[in-house]
Amino acid sequence: MKYSDIVLLQEICLTVEDIIFCDSIDVSFEFVINPSVYGDENVTCEGRPKGGVAIFWKKFIGVKIIPLTFVNNIIGVKIISGNKEWLILNVYFPCENYSREALCLYREQLAELHNILTDEVPVNVVIAGDFNADPSKGRFWSELKSFTDSLLFDVADLSLPIDTFTYLSPAHSSTSWLDHVVTSDRESITNIVVGYDRCIYDHFPLTFDVDVGDLNYTKNPKKGIESKKFINWTKFSEEMRVAYATRLEDFFENYWNEAIFCNNKVCSSGVHKDKLNEAYAFLVESILKSSEEFQFDNGKKNNITPGWNDHCRHKYNDAKMAFLVWKQKGKIRVGFEFDNMKKTRLEFRNALKFCRSNEESIRNEKLFSSLQEKNKTEFWRKVRQIKGKSISYASIIDGESDSQAVVECFSMKYKGIFDDINSQDRPVEFDNQINDYCSNDYYKRVTQRQIQVALSSLKCGVGWDSIHSNHLKFAPPAVIGFLNQL
pTM of the prediction?
A: 0.59
Burial of 82 (0-12, 13-18, 19+ CB in 10 A): exposed
The rounded distance, in Å, linking the Cα atoms of 94 and 132 is: 7
CB 226 within 8 A of CB 77: no
pLDDT at 441: 59
Give, in order, the Cα–Cα distances in Å from 85 to each of 88, 155, 163.
Answer: 10, 20, 34
pLDDT of residue 212 exceeding 50: yes
The rounded distance, in Å, linking the Cα atoms of 334 and 358 is: 35
Poorest-confidence range of 147-156, 271-280, 472-481?
Answer: 271-280
pLDDT of residue 243 exceeding 50: yes
Q: 17-71, pLDDT tens digit by residue?
A: 777 777 777 778 888 888 887 765 544 455 677 888 999 998 877 788 889 888 7
pLDDT at 239: 87
What is the pLDDT averaged over residues 434-445?
A: 65
What is the pLDDT averaged over residues 149-154?
A: 93
Please state the domain extents for the chain: 6-210, 229-297+444-485
Instruction: Name residue 84's beta-bridge partners.
Output: 81
| Whole-number average pLDDT of the chain | 82
Q: 39-52, pLDDT tens digit by residue?
A: 655 444 556 778 88
pLDDT of residue 400 exceeding 90: no
pLDDT at 388: 58
**3-state class percentages of the chain: helix first, strand second, coil last, to nearest 5:** 45, 15, 40
| Portion of the chain with pLDDT greater than 90, in percent | 23
Pairing of strands 84-92, 124-130: parallel
Q: 186-199, pLDDT tens digit by residue?
A: 999 999 999 888 88
pLDDT at 42: 47
pLDDT of residue 442 exceeding 60: no
* DSSP H helices in 267-373: 270-290, 313-328, 336-357, 359-372
Question: Could you tell me how many residues make up the chain?
Answer: 486
Q: pLDDT tier at 227 (50, 70, 90 boundaries)?
A: very low
pLDDT at 130: 95
CB 30 within 8 A of CB 77: no
Q: Given its phi and psi angles, is residue 353 left (phi above 0), alpha (psi -120 to 50 degrees) or beta?
A: alpha
The rounded distance, in Å, linking the Cα atoms of 427 and 178 is: 68
The fold for domain 6-210 equals Deoxyribonuclease I; Chain A (3.60.10)
pLDDT at 165: 93
